[in-house]
Amino acid sequence: MRRHPYIAAIIAILILLVIAAVVIWWLNARHYEWTDDAFIDARTVTVGAEIAGRITDVTVTDNQPVEAGAVLLRIDDSDYQASLKQAEAGVAAARADIANVEAQTQAQNAKVDAAGKQVAQAQAALEFAKSEDQRNRELLAKGTATQQQAQQAASTLRQDQAALDAANANA
């Protein structure tokens, strides 16, 4: 070792530097946990949205604890608002169609009622014409009525029968 006195000094200095580095590392790094193969015992949950869309706002940060039901982010709702307005317009159109059908139904019911009244009126006129025709035939047979009166009563009977048939056809 006398041949190279510097080698022994350099080795001694290197040993002292290594010892100093270990002491400094021990004093500073012992407060920090580190590992190259670590596992965290924590609950992680995969989060998925029920609807698709563009995210407009994120209300949480990485590794922030959250509660169930907390709002994590906001999704752009403009497409859904447009769909809602379109659906509301469809509902309004359907309600208008319902009101139109109800109005048509009421109009048809009024026509049916009017036709029923026309049938009743035609039946009453026919009954009167039948009785007039019968009475004029009897009077003609007795000679107290003229042939013209009997023919007029028979004609009225046929007209009232035709009116009843027309009223029944309209009803």
Asked if 115 contacts 109 with a C-beta cutoff of 8 angstroms, the reply is no
- Hey, which bits of 20-68 come out as E strands? 55-58
For residue 36, give the DSSP letter: S
Report the distance separating Cα 114 and Cα 121, nearest Å: 10
Paired strand residues for 75 = 55
Position 2 scores a pLDDT of 58
pTM score, two decimals? 0.47
Q: Which CATH architecture has domain 116-171?
A: Orthogonal Bundle (1.10)
Domain edges within the chain: 116-171
Query: Which residues of the chain are under the pLDDT cut of 70?
Result: 1-3, 38-41
